[in-house]
Amino acid sequence: MVVASRRAVSHPASRTPNPVPRVSGPESRYLVIRLSSIGDLVHTLPAVSALGETFPDSEICWLVEARYANLIEGNPYVHRVIEMDTLGWRKRLGSAETARQVFQWLGRLRRDTFDTVIDFQGLVKTGCVARLCRARTRVGFARPWLKEPAAGIFYNRHVAAEGRKHAIEEAFALVEHLGAKPGPWRFPLCWDAQDEAYVDRALAGIADFIVINPGGGWRAKRWPPASYGDLVRELDSRSFPEVILSGSSGEEEEIKAIIRHSGSSRARYLPTTIRQFMVLARRSKLFIGGDTGPLHLAAALKVPIVALYGPTDPARNGPFSPDDIVLSTHQPVDHTRRGKKSGYLEGISLDDALRAVRARLAGANER
Predicted confidence (pLDDT) per residue in 206-217, tens digit: 999 999 999 988
Same structural domain, 29 and 106: yes
Question: Would the pLDDT of 74 be above 70?
Answer: yes
**209-264 tens-digit pLDDT:** 999 999 988 899 999 999 999 999 999 999 899 999 999 888 999 999 999 999 99
CATH number for the domain that contains residue 114: 3.40.50.2000
Strand blocks (E) in the chain: 3-6, 29-33, 59-65, 80-84, 116-119, 137-141, 157-159, 209-213, 242-245, 268-269, 286-290, 305-309, 325-328
Stretch 25-33: mean pLDDT: 82
Q: Determine, yes or no, domain membership for 182.
A: no
| Domain finish residue from 143, 177, 211 | 177
Query: Burial code of 80-110, b = ≥16 C-beta within 10 A, e = fewer?
Result: ebbbbbeeeeeeeeeeeebeeeeeeeeeebe
Q: 292: closest CA among 3, 41, 90, 46? A: 41
Same structural domain, 201 and 137: no
| Domain finish residue from 177, 210, 236 | 177
Helices 225-237 & 350-366, crossing angle to 10 degrees? 50
Same structural domain, 44 and 162: yes
Distance CA 247, CA 280 (A): 12
Task: Out of 88-102, 225-239, 317-331, pick the least confident.
Answer: 88-102
Same structural domain, 119 and 208: no
By the 8 A CB rule, do 49 and 72 touch? no
CA-CA-CA-CA torsion sign (89, 334, 145, 16): positive
Distance CA 263, CA 353 (A): 19
For residue 11, the SS3 value is coil
Q: Which residue has the higher pLDDT, 178 or 95?
A: 178
DSSP designation for 96: H
Question: Would the pLDDT of 17 be above 50?
Answer: no
CA dihedral of residues 292, 88, 135, 41 (deg, nearest 10): -10
CA-CA-CA-CA torsion sign (221, 227, 229, 230): negative
* Strands 305-309, 286-290: pairing kind: parallel
Same structural domain, 163 and 289: no
DSSP designation for 64: E
Same structural domain, 171 and 146: yes
Task: Out of 6-15, 21-30, 237-246, 323-332, pick the least confident.
Answer: 6-15
Same structural domain, 92 and 168: yes
| Domain finish residue from 145, 177, 209 | 177
DSSP designation for 222: S
For residue 231, the SS3 value is helix
Q: Determine, yes or no, domain membership for 183.
A: no
Q: Determine, yes or no, domain membership for 188.
A: no
* Strands 3-6, 325-328: pairing kind: antiparallel
- How far is the CA of 310 from the CAs of 36, 212, 226, 345, 347, in angstroms? 22, 17, 17, 6, 9
Same structural domain, 218 and 353: yes
Number of domains in the chain: 2
Q: Determine, yes or no, domain membership for 185.
A: no
String of DSSP letters for 242-281: EEEE---GGGHHHHHHHHHHHT-SS-EE----HHHHHHHH
Which structural domain range is residue 151 located in?
Answer: 10-177
By the 8 A CB rule, do 327 and 348 touch? yes
Q: 119: closest CA among 30, 188, 17, 182? A: 30
Q: Which residue has the higher pLDDT, 13 or 72?
A: 72
Question: Would the pLDDT of 310 be above 80?
Answer: yes
Beta bridge partners of 325: 6, 306
Q: Determine, yes or no, domain membership for 295.
A: yes
DSSP designation for 183: -
Same structural domain, 41 and 173: yes
The alpha carbon of 75 is separated from its chain's Cα centroid by a whole number of angstroms, namely 15
Question: Would the pLDDT of 290 be above 60?
Answer: yes
- The number of CA neighbours under 13 Å toward the Cβ of 352 is 22
Helices 225-237 & 252-262, crossing angle to 10 degrees? 50
Answer whether the bond into residue 37 is a cis peptide, omega within 30°.
Answer: yes
Same structural domain, 205 and 65: no
Q: Determine, yes or no, domain membership for 1.
A: no
Same structural domain, 224 and 253: yes
**75-93 tens-digit pLDDT:** 999 999 999 887 766 677 7
Q: 279: closest CA among 193, 204, 211, 196? A: 196
Q: 127: closest CA among 157, 102, 92? A: 157
Q: Determine, yes or no, domain membership for 19.
A: yes
Question: Would the pLDDT of 335 be above 80?
Answer: no
Q: Determine, yes or no, domain membership for 3.
A: no
Same structural domain, 362 and 258: yes
Query: Considering the entire predicted model, what is its pTM?
Result: 0.89
